[in-house]
Each structure stands twice: as structure tokens, then as C-alpha cells.
Structure 1
Amino acid sequence: MKGYDLCDIHKKSLSYICKSDSKLCCEVCLKEKHEHCGIIVLLASISEETCKTKHNPTMEIPRLQNEARLLIAWLSSVEAGVKKNVESIPARLNEYRFALLKVFDSEAQKINEKANEMQNSTLKEIKKNRKYCEHVIEKSEQAKLSLINMTKCGTTPQKVISQYRIEAFRNKLQSLTDINIVSLHLEHLNLLEQIALSSTLLSVHAETPDTRPVQLFLNNVLELKQNKHETEPFLSGLDFLPDGRLFTVDNYNKKCLIYNGKLEEVGSFQLSYRPQSVVAVSEEEVAVTSGAGYKIDFLHVSKSNEITLIRTCKVTTRYGSICQKDGKNFVVGTIDDTRHFRIVSQSGEEKDFSIDFQNKKYALDTSACTYIRDRDKVALTDRYNHTVFIYDTKTNTKVDVKDDQIRQPICVAVGPFNCIFVCSNGTDSIVQISPLGKIVASHKIDMRYPYSICFSKDKTRLAISNSTKEEIKLQLFKVVV
């Protein structure tokens, strides 16, 4: 046996199998680690008939070796990618520095031009006002003696004339102080505001993260098969739970499914309706939308993968896509409503964004949205117009993203660098778009008609499913930035 019949740790004979942990045990292992396990089997008690070959070494060892070599190749590619990214940092920093300097030089030129313009107009106005002041001094000096005598020795009308003449001199100077000098002061303040605005612009540029294509490495694939007494599966919604499990909703078969990191099904729950989308609310809670019903269901997901209905929130609009806006609210995509996306609280309260939407309604499966929390932006897909709209909810502006790489865009998710990753159903790819609407990359994937997409909370894993009646898949990717 060359030692294969001995415990790796205690070097004693392997005499038991712990069925609970699927481990071979010696007597010491049994006492130290498996004493309280449920099923312990003595090796000597296993019959020849029971001992059927589970793994054929002739087939399994080469397969294991091949998987190990593939893993080494993948690790080598990741290592090369890391080195390449690190080596490219100085060049990227220089590019960023030159871009900032270019912005700074442009703003500096504008400020200098404004300053020179203000200086010329200000000096001209100062010269005019100074001459006016000198004129007041000269005229008042000439009238000084006459006005004094009129006040002291003149008749009543003469005294009144003297007072009005002095008041006229005062009013002239007062008008100069109230209007002309204040105007000059405001021009100076406007220049300071211009400098402050330029500084803000530069700071925004400085805070804008670098957006570059991510690398997607296929980690696992699950081919979804039609079970007996069920129709073909269609995972219309996906989201990662905080602990890494993947929660999905099967629209056609009206149920929820939980998968572990190996894409093994570990839990399920039957629904009475067709679910449309899902979002993880907390460690053990998810929210599910019904495209046909006016409700949002909240489900509890235990650590042992048991799913139970907690509560149902009645709403006034039919909702498809759903994502978290903050700790208390969701951003939801509407169905057959001119308000293309809305805000719904966890208690079911509905609110509208201050957005001027185009007068259009989206039917089921023709649009989806996601929220970029750091930018207060909402990305909305228009499937049959082959467009992704990026709405700025603060300024009520939008960017239209149209490109030959985007065909029939449907579900979207926010990934690294706050980029938008959209399923391009018509090109079998995932298109990466920057928050400003620039196409960063198009990632071709081995899947027909990608439909649903989600990122893990740390943005290191990506899950994608498709909408087809043939080769229905759920794919898991490693994301490298």
C-alpha cells in the first residue's frame, strides 16, 4: 500500500470512515475529531458488493492532472496580468497627470483672460470715478465760502439753497459709493468664484477613478436542464448574497434557487407566481419582484439554505428590475409606465425621481435599470432601440449610449470602477460602459443570448445566465481589474 493505508497525520492504520465528513480515520482521528459525528463505519465491515468503485484511477487521475494544469495556466495568466497592471501604473499615472495638467492649463488660460478683462474694465472705471471725485472736490471748494456765508448771513431762501447744494454734493458721492464701487467689488468676487469653480472642476477630475477594461476568467459553468414535470428553466434574476451564495429566480418554473460557489444547488423555494428579478437586502433577506403582479415579496434565506416568506408589500405599479439605492430604498424599473424607474422603500412607499422621461412605456422584458450609488446615476436599457441611457438624478440630464457593440441590451449591473456592465443579447457579449457613457470594452462570452447579470458585493465575481431554449447556462466568472 506504500503508506496509503496509514493516517497522514498520526501514521496509524486507517480503520474507519466518517460518513458525516466523508473522511478516512484512524483511531486517534476518531477520538480527536469525529467522536460526535453521526455515522462512523468500520472499514472491515464493508462488503465487497457494497464497495463499488466510485472513481476509476485510470480516468480520474489524468483528469485531475489536467484540471491542475489548467489551474496552473490560469494562475499564470493572472500572475502575468498582475505584473502587467503594476508595470503599466507609471505610464497610466503620467497619462493621468498630463490629462490633469491639460485641464488645469485650459482653466488657467480662461481665468487669466477673465482677469485681464476685469482689470482693464476695472481700471477704466476707477479712472472715471477718481476724476469724478476730483471734480466734486474742486466744485465743492469753489462753493465752500459762498455756501458758508449763505448759511450764516443769508436770507431764509438763501439758507435753504445752501442746504440743498450741500445735499446735492453728498448725493453725488453717495451714488458713487452705492453703485459704482459695489459693482467693481462684485466683479472681483465673480473672478474669485471663477477660480473656485475651476478648482472644483480640477478636484472632480482628480477624484474620477481610472476606468479600464476588466478581465473575465470563466470559473464554473452549470448547464441548466429541464426537470420532469417542469418547463425549461429561465433565470430572469440573479444576485449574490453577502456570504457569496448565489440567489436566483426561475421565471418559467415559479421558484427560487440557491447555488454555492461550485454552482451546486443547495436550496429551493416554490412560488405561486412568476418572479422577475431579485436583490439581496441583507445577510439573510432578499426582495423579489413579480412582473405581472403589483407586489414585492421579502424572503428570509437562512444559513442552512431554507427559504421562507417574511412579508409582502403591495405597490401601485408593476416592477421588473430591482436594485438597492441605499439601506432603506430600492430603485425599480417599471413595466408599462411612463415613469421608467422609481424609488420604493422597504416598507412599500413609492416615490418618483425628478426626471423628465420621454413619453414612452416599456413592456415586460424590454428594459431594465441599475443604480450607481457613488454617482447618483441610473442606467436604463432600451432593448429594441439598442440604447443604454445614463440618467444623472441630480442634474436631470442623460447620456444616450448607442454603439454597434450594443444590440438588444437587457439586464445591467454595476461593477468595478462604477462601470455599467450590460448584457448585449444580440451579440452574445457583456459590454462595459464608463459612468460617463464611454464604451470601455466588449467581453465576448461562450453563451447564446445573455440575459441576467450580477456582481458579488466585492466586485470580484460575476454571474451570468441566458434566455434560450437550447444550451441554457449559468456561468460564474472571476473578475480581475
Structure 2
Amino acid sequence: MASKRFVDSNRDNAGDFIGESAVTQSCEPCMKSNISKTPTVFCKDCDEFLCDACTNPHRVYKPGHHNIVNVQDHKSAPVILDMKGMDKCHEHGREIEFFCQDHSKLCCLSCVLIHRKCDKLDEIAKVSRQTRPDLQALKQSLIKMQSEADAIIADCKQSETGLNESIAKISAEVDTMKDRIIQLFEEAKQKLISEAKQFKTAKGKRIGNKCDASLKVKEELNNVLSMCCVVLERGTPSQQYIYSEQMKEKRKTIESTIDEQRKITFSSTMTVSFPKQVTSLLEMGSNSIKLNYDGNKTVDTSSISLSSPPRPVTLELLVSVDLPKTRDDKKEPVLSGLDFLPDGRLVAVDNKNWKCIIMNERLQRLGTPYKFKGSPYCVVCVSHDTLCVTGGGSKGVCLLSVSTDNTITLTREIKTTSKFFSICCMSPSNMVVSAFDNPRPARMISVDGVESDFDHFLTFPLKTYKLDESTCTYVQSKNTLVLTDQLAHTVYMYDTVNGTSRAVTDENIQEPRGACVGPGDTVLVFSKNNHSIVHLTIDGKILGTYPVDMEYPVSICVSKDGTRLAVTNSVRGAKKLHLYKISPAMS
């Protein structure tokens, strides 16, 4: 009897078998596509079963010689299937011949002695002729599990690659932040030294004047003292008397001059002080930078114990100005974007007059506005002197630099594939933007111009927003993306790490427009129709609502230290800009 051992993994799983008689096969190339098709030929050189459709591609594309015969000719000799020990009893090493249904156990002749009293003990040779096991279904399930295992392996490799890329990205971002901090401190040092030298020059003049005056007094005293000694030693009583009387007034004048010079005091030393933010950073040490990752539960407990839950706030109006059309404006201004520089200056972009404007704490214009080629939409401050502006006459982002003397200069234009409206910071090198005329309402862009999308597990509304129908902001410490849907009266909160989301609706939220991060990692959103600001936690809880004395507010921003709030509106003939002081509400 000729024998053949099957070594191909697909053929090991391929058919039903009975004893040693035959094996029901399928076309092996078709099986790789989960298709069961009866073979018509067999390639002896490749040891492979084929159907009619696969025979010719096998000859043409597979290298080597192919001795192909009909399946009937190949099956003329019976095939003995090597069961690889599966047909042997593990306990006794004998052939398996029985199946005990009471115990669901395959048995050999030795096992039968133990199971002889069982009610259902079947001889396999007999029952197998009556009931054939459904190995085809078993094969399909095994192939499916194999595919799932492959998918898991591929996912593991992708995750490993992602982790490696994340480490490189983290290192680059930390280096970028370090370089920016070093640059910031170097610039602050140079500014400090310059101010110290100016102070020294001014004080040096006053010190020189004091010293010159004292030298003159000393010179005069030397002359007077010399004459006094001569008169005292050689003068007659009459001369001594006359000199003494004449010197009384002179003495008073000299004493008065010395007293005046003595009162002029100067500090001989200068010191430097650092803001609380810097000293707090030093106190935190290596804990100043935290790692965010999926499932991270090891949050800095010191920050938890010192922090308090989000609280309502009170708004105190500090300054309010009207925004009429000025001599150099063609239209009434619409400040579609606002943000604060770290030093407290307010930046605004005028959508109608294509300008970027700098203002002081009294909302007075500083310097000369920068003129764009087209309408700007929104602005964000990404460093102490760098601004990013969406729009500006093209599909892209403009990078501007702002000097201490309020000079605004274009440093670079980034061309983008999408149209962006609102913009906010996500990290030192990445920003989040709201996109319009695009099925992806929120995207990311780096300061180098690299565009990217959020992970696929973030489910955005199935709609394409028009200009000004949706804005976004990003709560960095909470990894939370905030997206407003004006026409749906909804604010969406997305956890970008865990992939969860929350849709916030409330009667206080009517046509939400501008949004920004508020005190304590909360969110402030304009309710256009209610003419108010809605204060939210990232969990969707409403902490309070604050009416503003303006119709249809559109733009909002909070200062870097969280103490001031700027808002503006877009009503024709009644445009305003307000500056508020933010304070915690009294409990």
C-alpha cells in the first residue's frame, strides 16, 4: 500500500477523514481566500491540489516544473493519513477505537475496561460510517481564528512602532520646550542686563554730580581751614575777631551743602526677582513634565491634594470700548479672533479690515497694525512673541512675530490642504484647528506645517460645517478636545486618550460660538442667542452662566495667568470689546 504524509498546514486541516481510506480535499489556492472548491487536478512536483481556474496561473506564475495529473489518477492509490499521534491514547499509547459519550472521552482497549459500565460507549469504526464530523466548519473557524491572531500580531507590531515613534516625538517636544525656555531666559537675561546698564548710567550721572559737589566743598574747606590756621597762629585779636565773624555765614553755607549731599543716597546693589510660575517650576523639579498615556492612573498626587474641584467665578468689568469704523478702516471692525500675550497685551484680528492689532490693558491700540492679504479668522499666541493666524487671504496659517515695541512682522506662511477657522494650542509644537468645508471638523497642525488627524476612535458629527458654524479649543492638561456645533446647540467634549466623548446640551447653550479654556481647566463658551458666557467642566457640568452687555458675542479669550477675560461681538453699529477681571466666586 502506497503511503503519503501531508505536511502542508492547509491540507492538515483540509478534509473529513474516515479510518485510513480517503481524504476529501479542496483547491488549496482557493482555501487561502476562504473559498471551498473541489479540485480537478493535482501537481505532483508542488504537492498541491488545484481547481480548473487555478491550474493555468499555477503553471505560469509558480516557478519550477509541474507534473499535473487528474485527481482521479492521483487517488487511484489509497492514502494513509499521518495523525501525528492524535489517534493514540495518551494514557496507554494504544490505538483509539471507542468514544465514551458519558464522559466525552476517546478510549483505547485499555480505557474500555474503565468505561465498560458506561451507558453510551460507541465503537468509532461503526458510528463514523453513520455520522461524519463537520470538519469543514471546524476548518473555517480555525482559519478565522488564524486571521484574528494575525490581526492581533499586526496590531502589536503597530503598537510597538507607535511607542517607538512616541518616544522620539516626546524627546523632540521636550527638547523644543527646553530650547524655547533657554531662549526665553537668554532673552530675558539680555533685557535685564540692558535695563541694569541703563539704570547704572542714570545713577552714575547722579553719583558723579554728588561727588563733584562734595569735591568743591572739600576744596573750599581746605582753603578756609588753611586761612583759619594762619589767623589763629599769627593774627592779632582784632584780625581773629573779624575773621571769626565773617566765617559764620560761610560755615552755614558749607554745612547746608554737606547736609544736602548727605541726604542724597544711592543703592550700590541691584537684585533680580523671579515670578512665582518660575519658582514653582523649580520646586516641582523632575515632576514638572508628566507623561500621558492610555490607562495612566499614576497622576501626581501632590497636585491632587493641592488642587480643588472647578468652581464658579465672578466677572468684574474693567474696561469697555466701542469698536466704530476708524479713519484707516474701510468697514466696521469685526474682531473674529482674540488672545493674550504672556506679558498681558491683547492681540486681535480684524476680519473685515484684514488687520492684526495689539492693545494694552486699557484696550488702547499699540504700534502699527499688521495688514493681511485677505480676511483673517482667528489668532493664538504660541510663545512669548509668536502668533499663529488662520486665514489671512489663503488656505493656510500665518506665523507672526511681535516685538516688545509692538512691531508685527510676518515670519512664515504655511500652506494647508484644508480651510481652518479657529485655532488653539495643543502642545508647544502642535495646534488644534477647526476645519470648515471638510468632513473632519477638527484637525491638528504643527508649527512646521505638518497636518494630521485625531485617532479614528474619535467619532465626530456626520456633517460638514460651513464657515463659523463650529469652533474648537483644547484643554491640554485633560487631553480634552472641545468642539461647538452652533446649529445643533451642542458642545462636544472628546477625551483624546481614551476615545470617549460627551455631547452637552442645555437650555443655556443656544448657538454656541467662540470657546476657550477657563480657570482650573474648565471651558468657557459663548451662547450667542442668550448673549451670555456658559462656564462648563470637561465632564459637561454647567458651573454658571454670565450675561455680557453685548448682543451676539463671537470671540472670547482668557489671559495666561487666568485673571482676565476679553470678549467681543459682531452686531452692526453696536460692536464692543470688554475686558473683565476673573475671580473665584465666594462660597
Partner of 1:412: 515
Measure the CA separation in 2 of the matches of 1:198 and 1:348.
Answer: 33
Measure the CA separation in 2 of the matches of 1:424 and 1:390.
Answer: 16
Check 1:211–1:329 CA distance in 2 against 1; reply closer, same or farther (3 A cut).
same
Partner of 1:424: 527
Check 1:381–1:291 CA distance in 2 against 1; reply closer, same or farther (3 A cut).
farther
Partner of 1:242: 342
Measure the CA separation in 1 of the matches of 2:297 and 2:421.
Answer: 42
After superposition, the C-alpha distances for 1:33-60 in whole angstroms (9 at most, x for unaligned) are 9x9xxxxxxxxxxxxxxxxxxxxxxxxx
SS in 2 for 1:417: coil
Larger radius of gyration: 2
Check 1:198–1:271 CA distance in 2 against 1; reply closer, same or farther (3 A cut).
closer
State the number of aligned residues: 291
- Counterpart among 451, 465, 468 of residue 350 in structure 1: 451
Are the counterparts in 1 of residues 373 and 393 from structure 2 also a CA contact under 8 Å? no
| 2:373 is the counterpart of 1:272 | yes
**For residues 186-197 of structure 1, what are the structure 2 equivalents within 5 Å?**
none
What letter corresponds to residue 468 of structure 1 in structure 2? V
Measure the CA separation in 1 of the matches of 2:303 and 2:539.
Answer: 13
| 2:471 is the counterpart of 1:365 | no
| 2:405 is the counterpart of 1:304 | yes
| 2:421 is the counterpart of 1:320 | yes
SS in 2 for 1:374: helix
List 4+ stretches of structure 1 deviating above 3 A. 196-200, 202-209
> How far 1:356 sits from its partner (Å)?
2.3
Measure the CA separation in 1 of the matches of 2:447 and 2:363.
Answer: 29
Are the counterparts in 1 of residues 335 and 555 from structure 2 also a CA contact under 8 Å? yes
Partner of 1:13: none
Check 1:350–1:199 CA distance in 2 against 1; reply closer, same or farther (3 A cut).
closer
Partner of 1:340: 441
| 2:566 is the counterpart of 1:466 | no
> How far 1:293 sits from its partner (Å)?
2.8
Measure the CA separation in 1 of the matches of 2:395 and 2:479.
Answer: 26
Are the counterparts in 2 of residues 213 and 440 from structure 1 also a CA contact under 8 Å? yes
> How far 1:390 sits from its partner (Å)?
0.5
| 2:311 is the counterpart of 1:212 | yes
Partner of 2:554: 451
Greater CA deviation, 231-240 or 443-452? Answer: 443-452
| 2:485 is the counterpart of 1:382 | yes
Partner of 1:253: 353
Check 1:437–1:307 CA distance in 2 against 1; reply closer, same or farther (3 A cut).
same
> How far 1:207 sits from its partner (Å)?
8.4
Please tell me the root mean square deviation across aligned C-alpha atoms, in Å: 2.7
> How far 1:435 sits from its partner (Å)?
1.2
After superposition, the C-alpha distances for 1:58-94 in whole angstroms (9 at most, x for unaligned) are xxxxxxxxxxxxxxxxxxxxxxxxxxxxxxxxxxxxx
After superposition, the C-alpha distances for 1:232-262 in whole angstroms (9 at most, x for unaligned) are 1000000000110001000001111110011
> How far 1:394 sits from its partner (Å)?
1.2
After superposition, the C-alpha distances for 1:143-179 in whole angstroms (9 at most, x for unaligned) are xxxxxxxxxxxxxxxxxxxxxxxxxxxxxxxxxxxxx
TM-score (normalizing by structure 1)? 0.57
After superposition, the C-alpha distances for 1:194-248 in whole angstroms (9 at most, x for unaligned) are xx99999x99997874122111100001111112451010000000001100010
Check 1:291–1:337 CA distance in 2 against 1; reply closer, same or farther (3 A cut).
farther
| 2:495 is the counterpart of 1:392 | yes
The structure with higher relative contact order (CA 8 Å, sep 6+) is: 1
Percent identity of equivalent pairs: 41
Measure the CA separation in 1 of the matches of 2:582 and 2:555.
Answer: 17
Check 1:197–1:451 CA distance in 2 against 1; reply closer, same or farther (3 A cut).
closer
After superposition, the C-alpha distances for 1:312-357 in whole angstroms (9 at most, x for unaligned) are 1111111011011111100111111111111100000011111222
Measure the CA separation in 2 of the matches of 1:207 and 1:336.
Answer: 44
Q: Structure 2: give runs of 5+ residues left out of the alignment.
A: 1-202, 210-294
**For residues 165-184 of structure 1, what are the structure 2 equivalents within 5 Å?**
none
**For residues 47-196 of structure 1, what are the structure 2 equivalents within 5 Å?**
none
Check 1:396–1:466 CA distance in 2 against 1; reply closer, same or farther (3 A cut).
same
Greater CA deviation, 466-475 or 226-235? Answer: 226-235
Are the counterparts in 1 of residues 373 and 392 from structure 2 also a CA contact under 8 Å? no
Measure the CA separation in 1 of the matches of 2:555 and 2:535.
Answer: 15
What letter corresponds to residue 343 of structure 2 in structure 1? D
Check 1:203–1:468 CA distance in 2 against 1; reply closer, same or farther (3 A cut).
same
What letter corresponds to residue 302 of structure 1 in structure 2? S
> How far 1:397 sits from its partner (Å)?
1.6
SS in 2 for 1:400: strand
Q: Structure 1: give runs of 5+ residues left out of the alignment.
A: 1-28, 36-195
Measure the CA separation in 2 of the matches of 1:293 and 1:411.
Answer: 22
TM-score (normalizing by structure 2)? 0.47
